């Protein structure tokens, strides 16, 4: 199903752009020698991962899961319990939390399958809010509003954290891109566009929706536990509205149903955060206003138009220097 | 609280207290939910900023009456007008271009709600603000002493809801609203301008939410995060009552208000917030069309 036709592959300006961006991401710690900035970039990678997992649900299956924070929170608390009470190391808690998150995805997903639109959004939101309240009510094991602190960090050096998060993010993005560009992706799109028609041609829509739920909740919980380990803390705030709103702002600004988009959205949010650090608390306000403007003027997000613009530029430059590859015709189409 | 004293008199007092405090909660929820159900039934816009209007009403009355020291009546009218204007502006600038896309309006209004929360947070800080009671003193009702402010909430809410009922069922504009909510195309064929009606109802719904906020401001203190829980409760009530059904919303508001108060009195106030969430979850899973809704849609 993930078969890639290597004969059809040709090196276009888009791939050149991707290589440049990747090279840049790997070289950042050498260019900016500031552990504080590295820590900020780890958060960018974490939010990017939340964004792409959310995008799989929203952009490819049309499931507006308002309570996406549920999976993040389950992952964070699962990691905290496994690490603090059972003494599991971080590299083991992350996949296990992912599986626990997928289990929650199954529990929430099965009753939510019949629901669409607003009902799904509110049901998932109610589930997240119930979990948040339960965490506060059972404060003898969850430490209530304070949350659990003192988790093992992934590494004490931010440079290792950065490379770990970057490589994991690349793997996550790669997996999701493979999924959405395979036959499964087409099926998901058909469910998103016209579910009844998809059923009519014999697609088991429920199974594919559940599969999306499972993948997305696994990723959300996996990265939730990564975040808990990185911050060495798991608090009830991860279930809350702010987390959910931030995740979908990142997704919308970057571009819905692109998978790569949310990564750009997350980095934009982080860069803006740094540029506006002097202004302090107004940052979130400005980001919300920018999100609204982008959503009204540029509903497909900022990343896709940027890619088209830059890769066209790159093609023109390479044409000038005659570094043409054998597939000029192909790149013109793409 | 209930079982501790074995006296019958105490038990009756608790029942009466539940009746009165549940009534106050239901009145507030009903005002919030009616506006929401009207706009959901009319334009299929699931306005997550509805709770923000409630918050703006509460902060509006605080600003005008406490900071600017203007009379209470002016504070009432000013806050209602400002909130209605904000709602009209939002409808025109942010919601109309989305052409009723469900995810779009959901996210747009949610971001707007966050925006208002941030604005309030920056202007007034995170500390709760208390507005002094509009009328002081306590009223003794069947042996239970209730703050007069809470009774004012119930009275104003009852008058407003009755007035709204008469307005919708008896006037020409009310008929136009109902016709647009049943069939926008047929309504426009008989000469109803659905755009203006939708704008009007947006303003009306926002001022209802603001009125609820104004009335609540002296009872509960106002804080920047006060929009979220009432919003969830209003949505629960709208879905429990059936989308677009005003009567269903009133019935559902009574159910939610009283079950919450009973749980708060009998078990603990800490879990009373969970009641709404559990009701919401159960209704959505078991009967998405609600009590008075005829068809499932969303």
Q: Please give the average per-residue pLDDT across B108-124, as a whole number.
A: 87
Q: Count how many Cα atoms sit within 13 Å of the Cα of residue B184 in the half-sphere of its side chain.
A: 10
Domain tally, chain B: 1
Q: Does domain A13-317 have CATH number 1.10.3470?
A: yes
Q: Which two tokens stand for residue A329?
A: 């015709």
Q: Please give the average per-residue pLDDT across A2-10, as a whole number.
A: 58
Q: Which two tokens stand for residue B223?
A: 């804080």
Instruction: Tell me what pLDDT residue A280 has.
Output: 66
Instruction: Tell me what pLDDT residue B101 has.
Output: 76
Is B107 within 8 Å of A295 (Cβ atoms)? yes
State the best of A59, A276, A288 to mutate against chain B, taking most chain B CBs within 10 Å: A288
A125 touches chain B (CB under 8 A): yes
Q: Please give the average per-residue pLDDT across B202-229, as a whole number.
A: 88
> A99-134 pLDDT, tens per residue?
999 998 888 888 777 777 778 888 888 888 888 888
Instruction: Tell me what pLDDT residue A323 has.
Output: 52
Instruction: Tell me what pLDDT residue A9 has.
Output: 64
Percent of chain A with pLDDT over 90: 22
A301 pLDDT band, cuts 50/70/90, is: confident
Is B183 contained in some domain? yes
> B132-154 pLDDT, tens per residue?
877 777 777 777 777 888 888 88
Instruction: Tell me what pLDDT residue B41 has.
Output: 83
Instruction: Tell me what pLDDT residue B8 has.
Output: 54
Q: Which two tokens stand for residue A21?
A: 């961006």
Q: Which two tokens stand for residue B128?
A: 């709760």
Q: CA of A110: which chain B residue's CA is closest?
A: B285
Instruction: Tell me what pLDDT residue A36 has.
Output: 85
Residues of B in contact with A252 (CB under 8 A): 107
Distance CA A79, CA B258 (A): 39
Q: Which two tokens stand for residue A276?
A: 């506006």
Residues of B in contact with A116 (CB under 8 A): 298
The ipTM assigned to this model is 0.76
Contacts of A318 (CB under 8 A, 6+ apart): A13, A16, A324
Instruction: Tell me what pLDDT residue A51 has.
Output: 93
Contacts of B237 (CB under 8 A, 6+ apart): B29, B30, B32, B33, B37, B249, B252, B253, B256
Residues of A in contact with B239 (CB under 8 A): 119, 122
Q: Which helix (H) or strand (E) holds B145?
A: strand B144-147
Residues of A in contact with B267 (CB under 8 A): none
Q: Is the pLDDT of residue B20 over 70?
A: yes
Going by the DSSP 8-state scheme, the letter that residue B132 receives in this structure is: P
| Mean pLDDT, chain A, whole residue set | 83
B4 pLDDT band, cuts 50/70/90, is: very low
Radius of gyration of chain A (CA): 21
CA distance to partner chain B, nearest, from residue A299 (Å) = 10
Is B246 contained in some domain? no
- Cβ separation A64–B102 shorter than 8 A: yes
Q: Is the pLDDT of residue A32 over 90?
A: no
> A209-220 pLDDT, tens per residue?
889 889 999 999
Radius of gyration of chain B (CA): 19
Categorise residue B287: left if φ over 0, alpha if ψ from -120 to 50, beta otherwise: beta
A172 pLDDT band, cuts 50/70/90, is: very high
Q: Is the pLDDT of residue A266 over 80?
A: yes
Is B184 contained in some domain? yes
State the best of A57, A70, A122, A248 to mutate against chain B, taking most chain B CBs within 10 Å: A122
Task: Give residue limits of the domains in chain A.
Answer: 13-317
Residues of B in contact with A292 (CB under 8 A): 94, 108, 111-112, 115
A107 touches chain B (CB under 8 A): no
Q: Which domain covers residue B46, as residue numbers?
A: 28-226
Is B286 contained in some domain? no
Is B9 contained in some domain? no
pTM of the model: 0.82
A62 touches chain B (CB under 8 A): yes
Is A26 within 8 Å of A166 (Cβ atoms)? yes
**Looking at the partner chain, which of B107, B228, B235 has a beta carbon nearest the beta carbon of A248?**
B107
B1 pLDDT band, cuts 50/70/90, is: very low
Is B273 contained in some domain? no
């Amino acid at each position: 199903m993930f078969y890639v036709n290597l004969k059809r592959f040709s090196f276009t300006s888009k791939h050149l752009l991707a290589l440049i961006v990747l090279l840049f991401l790997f070289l950042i710690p050498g260019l900016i020698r500031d552990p504080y900035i590295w820590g900020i970039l780890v958060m960018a990678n974490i939010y990017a991962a939340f964004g792409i997992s959310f995008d799989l649900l929203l952009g490819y299956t049309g499931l507006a899961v308002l309570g996406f924070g549920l999976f993040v929170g389950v992952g964070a608390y699962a990691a905290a319990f496994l690490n603090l009470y059972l003494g599991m190391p971080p590299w083991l808690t992350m996949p296990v939390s992912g599986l626990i998150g997928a289990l929650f995805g199954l529990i929430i997903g099965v009753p939510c399958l019949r629901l669409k639109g607003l009902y799904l959004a509110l049901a998932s939101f109610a589930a997240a809010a119930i979990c948040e309240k339960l965490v506060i009510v059972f404060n003898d094991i969850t430490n209530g509003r304070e949350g659990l602190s003192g988790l093992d960090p992934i590494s004490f050096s931010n440079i290792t954290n950065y490379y770990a998060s970057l490589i994991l993010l690349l793997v996550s993005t790669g997996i999701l891109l493979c999924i959405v560009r395979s036959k499964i992706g087409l099926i998901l799109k058909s469910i998103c566009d016209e579910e009844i028609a998809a059923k009519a041609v014999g697609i088991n829509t429920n199974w594919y929706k559940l599969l999306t739920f499972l993948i997305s909740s696994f990723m959300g919980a996996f990265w939730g536990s990564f975040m808990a380990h990185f911050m060495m803390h798991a608090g009830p705030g991860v279930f809350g509205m702010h987390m959910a709103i931030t995740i979908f702002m990142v997704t919308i600004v970057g571009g819905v149903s692109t998978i790569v988009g949310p990564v750009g959205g997350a980095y934009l949010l982080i860069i803006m955060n740094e540029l506006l650090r002097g202004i302090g608390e107004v940052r979130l306000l400005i980001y919300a206003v920018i999100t609204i403007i982008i959503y009204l003027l540029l509903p497909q997000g900022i990343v896709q138009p940027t890619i088209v613009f830059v890769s066209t530029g790159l093609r023109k430059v390479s044409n000038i220097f005659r570094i043409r590859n054998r597939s000029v015709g192909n790149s013109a189409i793409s | 609280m209930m079982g501790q004293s074995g006296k019958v008199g105490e038990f009756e007092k608790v029942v009466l207290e539940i009746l009165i405090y549940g009534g106050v909660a239901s009145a507030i929820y009903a005002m919030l939910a009616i506006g929401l159900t009207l706009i959901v039934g009319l334009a299929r816009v699931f306005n997550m900023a509805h709770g923000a209007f409630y918050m703006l009403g509460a902060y509006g009355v605080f600003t005008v009456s406490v900071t600017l020291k203007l009379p209470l009546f002016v504070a009432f009218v000013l806050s209602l007008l400002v909130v209605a204007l904000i709602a009209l502006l939002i409808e025109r600038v942010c919601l109309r271009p989305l052409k009723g896309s469900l995810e779009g309006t959901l996210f747009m209004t949610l971001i707007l709600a966050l925006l208002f929360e941030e604005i309030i947070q920056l202007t007034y800080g995170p500390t709760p603000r208390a507005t002094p009671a509009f009328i002081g003193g306590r009223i003794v009702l069947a042996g239970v002493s209730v703050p007069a402010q809470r009774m004012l909430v119930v009275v104003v809410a009852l008058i407003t809801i009755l007035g709204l009922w008469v307005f919708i069922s008896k006037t020409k504009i009310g008929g136009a609203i109902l016709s647009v909510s049943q069939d926008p195309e047929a309504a426009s064929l008989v000469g109803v301008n659905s755009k203006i009606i939708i704008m009007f109802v947006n303003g009306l719904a926002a001022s209802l939410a603001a009125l609820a906020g104004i009335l609540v401001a002296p009872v509960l203190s106002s804080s920047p995060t006060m929009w979220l829980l009432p919003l969830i409760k209003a949505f629960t009530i709208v879905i429990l009552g059936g989308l677009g059904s005003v009567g269903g919303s009133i019935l559902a508001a009574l159910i939610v208000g009283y079950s919450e108060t009973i749980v708060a009195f009998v078990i603990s106030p800490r879990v009373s917030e969970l009641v709404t969430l559990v009701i919401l979850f159960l209704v959505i899973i078991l009967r998405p069309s609600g009590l008075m809704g005829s068809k499932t849609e969303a």
